[in-house]
Amino acid sequence: METVVEEVVSPEDLRKFERQYNEEASKGMVSARATFEYSWCLIRSRYLRDMQKGVALLEQLYINSDDESQRDYLFYLAIGNYRLKEYNKALNYIRAILKKEPKNHQAQELEKLIKKKMNREGLMGMAIVGGAALALGSLVGIGVALSKKS
């Protein structure tokens, strides 16, 4: 599952699907397929703005789709939000899938990956705060010791 969420789209594929999307848009009607393919490429981009645009396109697809397609869009929305480091949103999308399909293996794997990332980053955040507090405490202690010496 990590290879799926970490995959980066090739510039050629991005250009190809962007061209297709724009051609359909210029004719006034973009198909769900062209929108999905372009949004999936954007989500796999290296660039934050591309990923955000891809998620926005997928959200529109989700809103305007039937129940059958919504499940797929939820999965890719979870990946997009994972890549954007919006872990709570990603988890909500995956849980929506698991509510309807509790034995969905892909969704279970992605849920584990999201939780793992949240825990890792949460612990990292606590370690940084803890280290800063320790450093500040040490400086205050040194300051007190030096003031008593004088």
pLDDT per position as a tens digit, 34-55: 999 999 999 999 999 999 999 9
Q: What is the pTM of this model?
A: 0.78
Whether domain 2-149 has CATH 1.10.10.10: the reply is no
* Identity at 74, one-letter amino acid code: L
DSSP state of 45: S
**59-98 per-position pLDDT tens digit:** 999 999 887 889 899 999 999 999 999 999 999 999 999 9
For residue 53 the two structure tokens come to: 């645009």
Distance CA 15, CA 86 (A): 26
Q: Where are the domains of the chain?
A: 2-149
